[in-house]
Structure 1
Amino acid sequence: MGSSGDVHPFIGLGVALAARGHRVRLIVNEYFKDLVRRVGLEYIEFSTAEDFMELADHPALWHPRRAFFYIAQHGILKWMRRQYEIIRENQIPGDTVVVASCLGFGARIAQEHLGIPLISAHLQPFVLWSSYSTPRHSTIPFMHFLPRHLKDAFFWTGEKFVIDPFVCPKTNAFRRELGLPPMKRAFGRWIHSPLATLCLFPEWYADCQPDWPRNTYTTGFPLWDERNVTALPPQLNDFLNHQEPPIVFTPGSAVLHGQDFFRAAVEATQRLGKSAILLTRFPEQLPRSLPDTIRHFDYIPFSQVLPRAAALVHHGGIGSTAQAMAAGIPQLMMPMAHDQPDNAYRVKKMHIGDWLLPRHFSGRRVAGKLSRLLNSPQIGQHCRKIQEHFRDADPMSQACDVIEKAIR
């Protein structure tokens, strides 16, 4: 469930597990069917491509206050039963392990009802609530200033009076059908499998906190991005060879309403006198005509373009954030919702990037931020220092080790 940034890590993990001799079946939206089959994994349809587009086409998906409730209603709760049934129908008793994200309510219920081992896989630290190191959220920016006891009280109040009343009635109604007791504290506790919580990010990005779930393991950023699977656009090398390193812009793979983002991208690029690459599979968002120094491509694996780029401008998703860090280039974010504000905070704190809220994301302001990032020797030095963390990292092997160890 989710965008390319949500699905790619699970494909990469599946490929790594298959290389170790495991049979891997990926439950995923039809939108990713061809990709899953191209890498040699078994595909199980979770929902249709039309369902994916319907979910992505609503502006609430990226609204700072409405996004969670939209995802919960139209993603998590809507498909909870379907997810459970797929797992029940496809399990091999005694020989099945499920790895699922925090959106996988159906997988968590299958663990409790059917006894199928489940490993919770979290792509970003944002989903791990902590009163020690509190994730940043766009609607409650003051949280990290509070003492721990007030943070705990805030989490408890928000869960009891806002989150649980929204997600628990439908979830517990389904649980009641299965003879399971009601659950509570859905996102504070219940979504984390008691068997193991796999954090697909490194400790240098987010330290493991004392109040995180037991059996939590941090590995590293997956960085799987269709390299050597999806062909590069034939015009890409020619463009890169005849331009200075471009600025790469993308509002996210599932954004369908990015007209303002791309308009600002073009203006900022021209103000700076730079070249740029605009990435989106939905070109109707782009200005009608682009100058010769700016090119649009549907998709390019970041690992094959960012090492030749000057900077990445993006929405703040964890996958894009990690790829820019691995390439050793500065990044400018336009965080909207979900984990994006937290990632933006962490990047700025590490002195490898900056951010602008959507209402401030104009060509003039983007150009100003980029100018400072591109011309700062300190930013470049910090980017190269962070890049060193990736040189000998093998996060997929670590993640496979965690999964295999948890089920022995």
Structure 2
Amino acid sequence: MKPLNILLNPVGSAGDVHPFVGLAAALKARGHEVRILTNEYFRPLAEKMGLEFVPLGSREEFETVLRDPNAWHPRKALDVIFKAVIEKLLPQTVETLSRLHQKGRTVVVASTLALGARVAQEAFSIPTVSVHLAPGIFRSSYEVPVFDGLGFMRWLPRFANDLVWRLIDAAFVDPSTAPAINRYRATLGLKPVKRILHHWWHSPLRVLGLFPAWFGPPQPDWPAQTLLTGFPMFDERDVHAPDPALEAFMAEGDKPFVFTPGSAMLQGQKFFAAAAEACRMLKRRGILLTRFEEQIPRELPPGVRHFAYVPLSRLLSRCAAMVYHGGIGTCAQTLAAGVPHLVMPMAHDQHDNAARLARLGVGDSLAPGKFTADHLARKLKALVENRDMPGRCWEIARRMEQERPLERSCEIIEQCAGDLAPAH
């Protein structure tokens, strides 16, 4: 086929951007013209991968969100994230996409929070594929995603869940999102929209779920235009040389535990303090991963080391367990490595991911309020003593080796070229 002009627009942290960088590299290898449109913070990664980069938002704006502790609050995170996305990015995204659009050649590939791409799709008839990285993004009244405070919905009949979703939208979601979106839409001659997170943020042309059906089975009330392809296993392995200090540490003793609260977490002091102390209590080795060294205890027990960044695909298969926040990117890498999970879910899709891992029998979770050294040590001891879990982890890792998510995702995106999405 003729080369396409593909514009990838991920919005979020490294866990949101990494899959799009991997997808962009795969599309470029198939001969397409590819651009990554995201925050300036990710320019170095895109350029190291040989991808054309278009900045949307400054590094300072990105770091402002990182420093906001409410970005990880189960109920306050929505306001923080959408304020950054809508007020700062919406007009800039729409203007940039309209400028780069080449009629008949362009496909926009937009992440969950790329709301500007949805507005541009309707304003300028740009073929757009919505990409959701985790099943918890899809609202359902059948298998209700697990969110903090909404556990009761799993016991309600479907008609009652439909009503609860409507009440949530009317009372909380739309008041935070719809006014700013609709004010901007009016300047483009577009009609107002509502129930932003229920159906509007899904492209009517095509929705891609970048996770496998065995992790998030499609539900009858998901958008009909949804296709699942699998986890896009990209990290920064190709742009980071092996770290001699890490390799020396790995050779010194038994398999360590790995701990990270996520690439965007700047409030992880208690997490790392508990991790270090739990390793001391268990007399086990540990690796603490964060680019923000100020979160690490000044004195670490013997056998516990801090590293700023290690590509997880290079590390996890040699470790005893992964302790993390439940982000879908880290979740996928841990599944592929075939090691147990211990999740401390805080917000976003993390509670739902943790619940799915528990149902698969490959991990456990520990609430932030109980994330102390004592509780953590007990949970880790139970994980490593579980005789059945290694086999289940191994089976999933082998299954993932047979999947081809990037190839299938590229094929679906190519099929959308020239298709016009119906306007809402």
Settle same-fold status: TM greater than 0.5. Answer: yes
| Uncovered stretches (5+) of structure 2, i.e. residues with no partner | 1-10, 419-424
SS in 2 for 1:288: coil
Could you state the TM-score of these two structures normalised by the residue count of structure 1?
Answer: 0.98
Cα contact 2:105–2:417 (8 A) shared by 1: no
Q: Which residue of 2 aligns with 1:202?
A: 212
Once residues 116 and 380 of structure 1 are traced to their aligned partners in structure 2, the CA distance between those partners, rounded to angstroms, is 46
Once residues 171 and 310 of structure 2 are traced to their aligned partners in structure 1, the CA distance between those partners, rounded to angstroms, is 43
Q: Which residue of 1 aligns with 2:373?
A: 363
Once residues 106 and 306 of structure 2 are traced to their aligned partners in structure 1, the CA distance between those partners, rounded to angstroms, is 43
SS in 2 for 1:227: helix
What do the CA deviations read for 1:222-275 (whole angstroms, capped 9, x no partner)? 120011212232201111011211100000000001000000000111111110
Cα contact 2:26–2:410 (8 A) shared by 1: yes
What do the CA deviations read for 1:192-234 (whole angstroms, capped 9, x no partner)? 0011000000000011111111211000001200112122322
Cα contact 2:277–2:301 (8 A) shared by 1: no
| Uncovered stretches (5+) of structure 1, i.e. residues with no partner | none
Once residues 101 and 95 of structure 2 are traced to their aligned partners in structure 1, the CA distance between those partners, rounded to angstroms, is 10
The question of 1:306 aligning with 2:316 is answered yes
Match of 1:346 among 356, 365, 371: 356
Q: Which has the higher contact order (CA 8 A, sep 6+)?
A: 2
Once residues 276 and 219 of structure 1 are traced to their aligned partners in structure 2, the CA distance between those partners, rounded to angstroms, is 34
Once residues 86 and 136 of structure 2 are traced to their aligned partners in structure 1, the CA distance between those partners, rounded to angstroms, is 17
Q: CA deviation at 1:161?
A: 2.5
Match of 1:162 among 172, 185, 209: 172
Once residues 98 and 243 of structure 2 are traced to their aligned partners in structure 1, the CA distance between those partners, rounded to angstroms, is 41
Cα contact 2:34–2:52 (8 A) shared by 1: yes
Match of 2:125 among 99, 115, 134: 115
Q: CA deviation at 1:364?
A: 0.7
Q: CA deviation at 1:292?
A: 3.4
Match of 1:106 among 108, 116, 126: 116
SS in 2 for 1:342: helix
The question of 1:290 aligning with 2:300 is answered yes
Once residues 331 and 207 of structure 1 are traced to their aligned partners in structure 2, the CA distance between those partners, rounded to angstroms, is 20
Q: Which residue of 2 aligns with 1:260?
A: 270
Amino acid at match of 2:96: I
Could you state the TM-score of these two structures normalised by the residue count of structure 2?
Answer: 0.95
Q: Which residue of 1 aligns with 2:222?
A: 212
Q: CA deviation at 1:9?
A: 0.3
- Number of matched pairs: 408
Q: Which residue of 2 aligns with 1:400?
A: 410
What do the CA deviations read for 1:292-330 (whole angstroms, capped 9, x no partner)? 301111111100000111100000000111111111100
Cα contact 1:77–1:167 (8 A) shared by 2: no
The question of 1:66 aligning with 2:66 is answered no
SS in 1 for 2:172: helix
Q: CA deviation at 1:132?
A: 1.0
What do the CA deviations read for 1:271-302 (whole angstroms, capped 9, x no partner)? 11110111000000000022330111111110
Once residues 319 and 176 of structure 2 are traced to their aligned partners in structure 1, the CA distance between those partners, rounded to angstroms, is 43
Match of 1:174 among 178, 181, 184: 184
Match of 1:230 among 233, 240, 243: 240
How big is the alpha-carbon RMSD for the aligned residues of Structure 1 and Structure 2? 1.0
Amino acid at match of 2:107: V
Q: Which residue of 2 aligns with 1:388?
A: 398
Q: CA deviation at 1:388?
A: 1.9
SS in 1 for 2:270: helix
Once residues 132 and 39 of structure 1 are traced to their aligned partners in structure 2, the CA distance between those partners, rounded to angstroms, is 41
Q: Which residue of 2 aligns with 1:336?
A: 346
Amino acid at match of 2:223: P
Once residues 392 and 64 of structure 1 are traced to their aligned partners in structure 2, the CA distance between those partners, rounded to angstroms, is 35
Match of 2:257 among 226, 247, 254: 247
The question of 1:153 aligning with 2:166 is answered no
Q: CA deviation at 1:395?
A: 0.8
SS in 1 for 2:388: helix
Q: Which residue of 1 aligns with 2:384?
A: 374
Q: Which residue of 1 aligns with 2:421?
A: none
SS in 2 for 1:388: helix
